[in-house]
C-alpha cells in the first residue's frame, strides 16, 4: 500500500498528518479508513489521521473511536439532512495534545476556545442557531428510523442505482467494487456525449438536478446523489428522469435501467427488509 | 340518452335542476358536460345545469360560460393545489334569477349576502384568509405554466398511468374511453385480492398513500391520483410504488407497467412537448 | 328579565330556541349564560339554548354541560389561535333528539352524518386538514399554560385595557361592568372624531390593525382585541399604538393610558401571578 | 488622539493594521470611523484600516469607500435581519494588494479563491444557501423602506430608549453622547442590584430576552437591542417589559420611562416622519 511505503520512508517524521476523504463525492468512491489506520499503526508512524466524513456521516458506517481516527470533519448538509452552514469536529486525545503544542497561528478555528465555551453549553462566537434546531430534529429522525436501518437503506439504494447504470450499459467512475459509495454514484456518459448537456435536458424537462463532473471529469460525468431523506420512490423517480433524459437527449443507452433498479429494490419472493 | 328522455317526460317541469359531477373521483370517470347541455337544450327543459367541478377545475378543460352551466361548484384542494377549506361557485344569470324567487330557507350558503359583500371586496362571514393567500400563489403558478400546458400535462400523465395499468394486466373501473379521467384512475385489483391490504403494504413500505375504493367498490379498487403540482418523476415514483407493492403483497400482475408509462412519457424519437 | 317574560308569554311553545352570543365582539359585552339558563328553567319552557361561543371559547370560562347549554357553536380563529376555517358544535342530548324529529331540510350541516363518520374518526366531507393539525398544537399550548391560567391572563389583560381607556378619558361601549368582555373592548372615540380615520392613522404609523365599529357603531368606535396568543408586552405595545395614534391624529385624550395599564399589570409590591 | 500618537511613534511601520469595531455591542458605543481614518492619514502611516461593522451594517450610516476603510467585516444576524451563519467582507484595492504579498498561511478564509469563484457566481466551498435566499429578501425589505429611512428609524428608537433609561434614573454605559449606539443600549442596574437576576425575572414574566453584561460588566449591566425588523410598538413593548420587570424584581427606579419614550416617539404637535 502506497501510504505504508510513504510513511515508512519518512524516518524523520516530517509528515504530521494523513488526510483522507471517507467518501469522495466527485468520484463516488469510499476509502477504507480502518485499513488505512492499520497500515499507519504497522509503520509505527506518529502522524495524525484526519478524515473528511462530510458526505458519509449519518449515511454509512463510520467509527471515529474504533478506527482510531484523530480528527473527523463532518457537516450538516449531507446525511444530516439540514441546510449547509454547520460543521463539526470529533477529536482524539492525541489530536488535542498536538493542538496544544502546535505553533501555527489560528483564531476562529481554534479548538480550545470552542471546547472551553461548550463545557457550559455556549459557543465562543455566534453560532448558526437555526441549523442547531434543525440538527436536533434530524438526529431525532435518524434515531426513529434506527441508525443501522439508515445505513442499510443507503446501501440498498446504492446497489439499485448501480444495477440501473449497468443495465443502461454505462460505466461507473469508481472501478473498485469494495470502494463503491453508498451516497453518490458518478457515471460516465458514453464516449463523446456531453454530460452537462444531458444534465441540462434532465433539469429542464424533469426538474431534476444531477451533480456535474468536477475537475478533469467535467463534461464527461454526471453524479447521482442518493442520500439523506430519500426513499425507494424518490430513487426510482430519479432514475426515471435519467433514463427519459437520455432518450430525449439521444444519449445512446440500453433501456431498462429503472426496471433493473426496481427488481433490486423489491425482488420477487424476498422480503424488502432483508439486505439485498 | 337517458337524460333527454327523462327531461322530455317531465312535461310539468317538476325537475328544477340537473346535477352532474364533471369528474367522478370514486370511479375516475369524466362526464361530457357540453353534450349534456345540448341534450337539455334540445328538450327545451328549463332545469338548471349544476356541475361539481371540484376535481377537474384547473386540471382539465372546463367552460362554465361556453357550456352554459348554471352553477359550477369548485374547491381548493384538488387542481388548485392548496389545502382543503375553500369552495367557490360560478353562477349564471339564470341561476341568479332562480335564486331570487326560490323559497327554500337558507342562510350561510345564501348567494345574495356573499355577492353584496364581495362587491366591496369583503365577505359576509369570516373567510379562510390563509387559503386565499395560498390561492393567489396557486393561480400565479398556473398562469406561469400556462393553463393549456397544465391541461396537456394532466392528459399526458393520465395516458401514462393507463399504459402502466394495462401492462400490469389490471382493469380500469371506467370502461368508456372517452370518459377516462385525466386526474384520477381507479383500478380493480385482480379477483379476490384485497385492495385495502395492497394499499396498506404500499403505504408502509413506500410512504405512498393511494385512494381507497368507495361504496360498493370498497376493497376491490385502489385509486391513483395524478393531478395538481405533479410531474413526470412523481408519476413514475407513484407507479413504481404500486408495481413494487404488488410484488411484495403477492398480487398477481405482469411486470413492466412502470416501463410502459415511461415509454408513453418519453417516446423514442419524439419530442416531449408534443401531446402523446 | 325580558327573556323570562317572553318565554312565559309563549304558552304554545312556538319559540323553539333561544340564541345567545356569549361574547359579543361588536360591542365587547359578555352574556351571563348560566343566568339565562336559570331563567329558562324557571319558566319551564322547552326551548333549546343555543350559544355562540366563537370569541370566548378558550379565553373565558365556559361550561357547556354545567350551564345546560343545548348547542354551543365555536370556531378556530379566536381563542384557539389558529386561522379561520374550522367550526365546532357541542350538542346536548336534548338537542340531538330535537334534531332527529326536526323537518327543516338540511344537508352539509346535518349532525347525523357528521356524528356517524366521526365515530370512526372520519368526516363525511373533506375537512380542513391543515387546521386540524394546527388545532392539536393549539390545544397543547393551552394545556401547557393551564386553562385556568389562560382565563386569568385574559381577565388581567381586559382590566388593564379598561384602565388605559378610562385614563385616556374615553368611554367603553359596554356599560354594565359585569358584562365587560375579557377578549375585546369596544371604545367610543370622543364626540365627532372619526374612529376609522384614527384606525387608519394607527395602521399606517404603527402597523397595528384595530377592529372597526360595526353597524350603527361604524365610524364611532374602535375595538381592541386582547385574546389568544397574547402577552403583557403585546398588550402594552397595542395600547401604546393607540395612545401615540390619538396624539398623531389629534384625537383629544388625556395622556397616561399606557402607564395606567402598566400599573394594573404589575402593581408595586404585589405578585404578578395574583389576580389583579 | 491616542491612535495618532501610537501610529506616529511606529516609525518602522511594524503595525500592519488598525482594527476597529464600528458598533461595540457589549457597551453600546459607536466609533467615528471617518475621524479615525483622517487621523491615520495625517500620520501618513500605511497600516490597513479594518472595521467590524457586524452590528451596524444596515442600521446606521456606514461608508466603506468614502471613509477609506480597507476591510469591512459584516454578518447576517443583526441589521440584515436573517439568522446567523453568513459573513461578508468588503475589501479595498490596497487590502487586496497586501493580501497578495502576505505570507501568513491561510486556506478557507483566503480571499483569492473566493474572488475567483464569485466572478462566475460560484463559491469555492458549499455556501449557506438558505441564508443567501433570506438575504435577498432582507435586502428587498430594506430597499422598500429606503436605507435612509431605516437609519432614521434606528436613530429615533435609540433616542427613545435613552429617554426611558434617563427617566428611570439609570445610567447608560456609554458616557460620550456622540458615541451612543443606535442599535444597542447598555444600562447599569442601580448599585448592588444583580442585572442577571433582573434579566431572568423579565424573561420569565414577559418572555423578553435582554442581553447580558459581558466581561467586567457581567452582572452589572443589561443590554437592550433595538435593531433590524423593529417598530415603535415592539420598542415600547420592550421598554414596558423592563419597567414592569424592575418593579417586580424590586430594582429601584423612577417610574415613567415608557411614557418618556412614548413622548419621544410621538411628540405632540409634531409629525412622526420628522427626525426627533
What is the Cα–Cα distance from C243 to C252, expressed in whole angstroms? 10
Stretch 228-247 of chain B: residues touching chain A, C-beta under 8 Å? 231-234, 236-238, 240-241, 243-244, 247
Are the C-beta atoms of residues C249 and D273 closer than 8 Å to each other?
A: no
**Chain B residue nearest residue A232, CA to CA:** B206
> Residue D101's CB: how many other CB atoms inside 10 A?
6
Is D83–A126 a contact, with Cβ atoms under 8 angstroms apart? no
In angstroms, the separation between the Cα of residue A200 and the nearest Cα of chain B is: 15
| pLDDT tens, position by position, C34-51 | 999 999 999 999 999 999
Q: Please give the grid coordinates belonging to residue D78.
A: 443583526
- Comparing CA positions, the residue from B31, B110, B124 lying closest to residue B69 is B31
User: Would you write out chain A's pLDDT as a tens digit for each of its 276 residues?
Assistant: 789 999 999 999 999 999 999 999 999 999 999 999 999 999 999 999 999 999 999 999 999 999 999 999 999 999 999 999 999 999 999 999 999 999 888 888 999 999 999 999 999 999 999 999 999 999 999 999 999 999 999 999 999 999 999 999 999 999 999 999 999 999 999 988 999 999 999 999 999 999 999 999 999 999 999 999 999 999 999 999 999 999 999 999 999 999 999 999 987 644 444 333
Q: Please give the grid coordinates belonging to residue A155.
A: 446501501
Nearest to C129 among B75, B84, B109 (CB): B84
Between chain B and chain C, the number of residue pairs with CB atoms below 8 A apart is 33
Residue C23's Cα: distance from chain center in Å? 4
* Residue whose C-alpha cell reads 509503520 in the numeric block: A43
Nearest to B206 among A207, A232, A258 (CB): A232
Q: Flag whether pLDDT at C93 surpasses 60.
A: yes
Mean pLDDT, contiguous 10-residue spans, chain B (276 residues) = 92 96 97 96 96 97 98 97 95 96 88 93 92 97 98 97 98 97 98 95 96 95 98 96 95 94 76 40
Nearest to B237 among A205, A234, A255 (CB): A234
**Type and span of the H or E element at D97:** helix D93-101
Q: Flag whether pLDDT at C272 surpasses 80.
A: no
- Comparing CA positions, the residue from A71, A55, A65 lying closest to residue A34 is A65
| pLDDT tens, position by position, C189-218 | 998 899 999 999 999 999 999 999 999 999
- Using the Cβ of A268 and the Cβ atoms of chain B, whether some distance falls under 8 Å is answered with yes
Are the C-beta atoms of residues A160 and A235 closer than 8 Å to each other?
A: yes
- Using the Cβ of A97 and the Cβ atoms of chain D, whether some distance falls under 8 Å is answered with no
- What lies within 8 Å, CB to CB, of C170 at 6+ separation is C187, C188, C189, C190, C253
- What lies within 8 Å, CB to CB, of B246 at 6+ separation is B168, B198, B252, B253
D73: helix, strand or coil: strand
Q: Please give the grid coordinates belonging to residue B98.
A: 332562480
Residue B268 pLDDT: 62
Give the pLDDT band (50/70/90) at residue C270: very low
> Residue A209's CB: how many other CB atoms inside 10 A?
11
- Identify all chain A residues contacting D84, using CB atoms and an 8 Å cutoff: 126-130
Q: Which residues pair with C48 in a beta bridge?
A: C17
- Identify all chain B residues contacting A236, using CB atoms and an 8 Å cutoff: 236-237, 240, 258
Residue A1 pLDDT: 74
β-strands C48-52, C17-21 pairing: parallel
Nearest to A237 among B237, B265, B268 (CB): B237
- Comparing CA positions, the residue from A265, A248, C43 lying closest to residue B205 is A265
B149: helix, strand or coil: helix
Q: Which residues pair with C29 in a beta bridge?
A: C24, C180
Nearest to B84 among C75, C84, C126 (CB): C126
Residue B273 pLDDT: 43
User: Would you write out chain D's pLDDT as a tens digit for each of its 276 residues?
Assistant: 789 999 999 999 999 999 999 999 999 999 999 999 999 999 999 999 999 999 999 999 999 999 999 999 999 999 999 999 999 999 999 999 999 999 888 888 999 999 999 999 899 999 999 999 999 999 999 999 999 999 999 999 999 999 999 999 999 999 999 999 999 999 999 988 999 999 999 999 999 999 999 999 999 999 999 999 999 999 999 999 999 999 999 999 999 999 999 999 987 644 444 333
3-state secondary structure chain C: CHHHHHHHHCCCCCCCEEEEECEECCCCEECCHHHHHHHHHHHCCCCEEEEECCCCCCCCCCCCCCCCCCEEEEECCCCCCCCCCCEEEEECHHHHHHHHHCCCCCCCCCHHHHHHHHCCCCCCCCCCHHHHHHHHHHHHHHHHHCHHHHHHHHHHHHHHHHHHHHHHCCEECCCCHHHECCCEEEEECCCCCCHHHHHHHHHHHHCCCCEECCHHHCCCEEEEECCCCCCHHHHHHHHHHHHHHHHHCCCCCCCCHHHHHHHHHCCCCCCCCCCC
Residue A271 pLDDT: 42
- Comparing CA positions, the residue from D207, D213, D211, D206 lying closest to residue D244 is D206
Average pLDDT for residues C264-270, to the nearest whole number?
Answer: 69
In angstroms, the separation between the Cα of residue B142 and the nearest Cα of chain A is: 16
Are the C-beta atoms of residues A15 and A36 closer than 8 Å to each other?
A: no
- Using the Cβ of D105 and the Cβ atoms of chain A, whether some distance falls under 8 Å is answered with yes
Is C126–B77 a contact, with Cβ atoms under 8 angstroms apart? yes
Is B205–A244 a contact, with Cβ atoms under 8 angstroms apart? no
β-strands C23-24, C71-75 pairing: unpaired
- What lies within 8 Å, CB to CB, of A7 at 6+ separation is A15, A18, A39, A40, A43, A45, A47
Is C258–D240 a contact, with Cβ atoms under 8 angstroms apart? yes
| pLDDT tens, position by position, A134-163 | 999 999 999 999 999 999 999 999 999 999
ipTM of this complex: 0.88
- Identify all chain A residues contacting D104, using CB atoms and an 8 Å cutoff: 105
C-alpha dihedral (A110, A112, A117, A122), degrees to nearest 10: 40
What is the Cα–Cα distance from D39 to D57, expressed in whole angstroms? 23
- Using the Cβ of D215 and the Cβ atoms of chain A, whether some distance falls under 8 Å is answered with no
What is the Cα–Cα distance from D176 to C248, expressed in whole angstroms? 32
Is B83–C127 a contact, with Cβ atoms under 8 angstroms apart? no
* Residue whose C-alpha cell reads 400535462 in the numeric block: B153
- Identify all chain C residues contacting D259, using CB atoms and an 8 Å cutoff: 255-256, 258-259
Residue C211 pLDDT: 97
- Using the Cβ of D75 and the Cβ atoms of chain A, whether some distance falls under 8 Å is answered with yes
What is the Cα–Cα distance from A263 to A243, expressed in whole angstroms? 16
**Type and span of the H or E element at B88:** strand B87-91
**Chain C residue nearest residue B109, CA to CA:** C108
Amino acid at each position: 500500500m502506497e501510504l505504508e511505503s510513504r510513511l515508512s520512508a519518512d524516518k524523520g517524521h516530517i509528515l504530521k498528518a494523513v488526510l483522507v476523504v471517507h467518501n469522495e463525492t466527485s468520484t463516488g468512491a469510499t476509502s477504507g479508513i480502518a485499513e488505512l489506520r492499520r497500515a499507519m499503526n504497522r509503520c509505527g508512524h506518529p502522524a495524525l489521521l484526519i478524515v473528511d466524513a462530510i458526505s458519509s456521516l449519518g449515511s454509512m458506517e463510520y467509527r471515529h473511536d474504533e478506527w482510531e481516527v484523530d480528527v473527523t470533519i463532518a457537516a450538516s448538509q449531507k446525511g444530516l439532512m439540514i441546510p449547509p452552514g454547520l460543521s463539526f469536529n470529533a477529536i482524539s486525545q492525541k489530536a488535542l495534545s498536538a493542538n496544544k503544542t502546535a505553533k501555527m497561528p489560528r483564531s476562529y478555528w481554534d479548538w480550545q476556545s470552542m471546547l472551553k465555551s461548550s463545557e457550559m453549553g455556549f459557543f465562543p462566537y455566534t453560532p448558526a442557531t437555526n441549523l442547531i434546531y434543525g440538527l436536533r430534529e434530524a438526529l431525532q429522525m435518524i434515531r426513529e428510523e434506527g441508525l443501522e436501518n439508515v445505513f442499510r437503506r443507503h446501501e440498498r439504494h446504492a446497489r439499485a442505482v448501480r444495477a440501473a447504470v449497468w443495465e443502461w450499459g454505462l460505466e461507473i467512475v469508481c472501478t473498485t467494487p469494495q470502494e463503491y459509495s453508498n451516497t453518490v454514484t458518478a457515471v460516465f456518459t458514453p464516449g463523446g456525449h456531453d454530460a452537462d448537456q444531458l444534465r441540462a435536458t434532465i433539469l429542464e424537462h424533469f426538474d431534476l438536478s444531477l451533480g456535474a463532473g468536477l475537475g478533469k471529469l467535467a463534461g464527461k460525468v454526471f453524479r447521482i446523489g442518493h442520500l439523506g431523506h430519500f426513499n425507494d420512490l424518490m430513487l426510482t423517480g430519479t432514475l426515471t428522469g435519467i433514463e427519459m433524459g437520455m432518450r430525449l437527449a439521444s444519449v445512446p443507452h440500453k433501456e431498462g435501467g429503472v426496471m433493473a433498479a426496481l427488481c433490486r429494490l423489491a425482488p420477487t419472493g424476498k422480503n424488502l427488509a432483508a439486505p439485498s
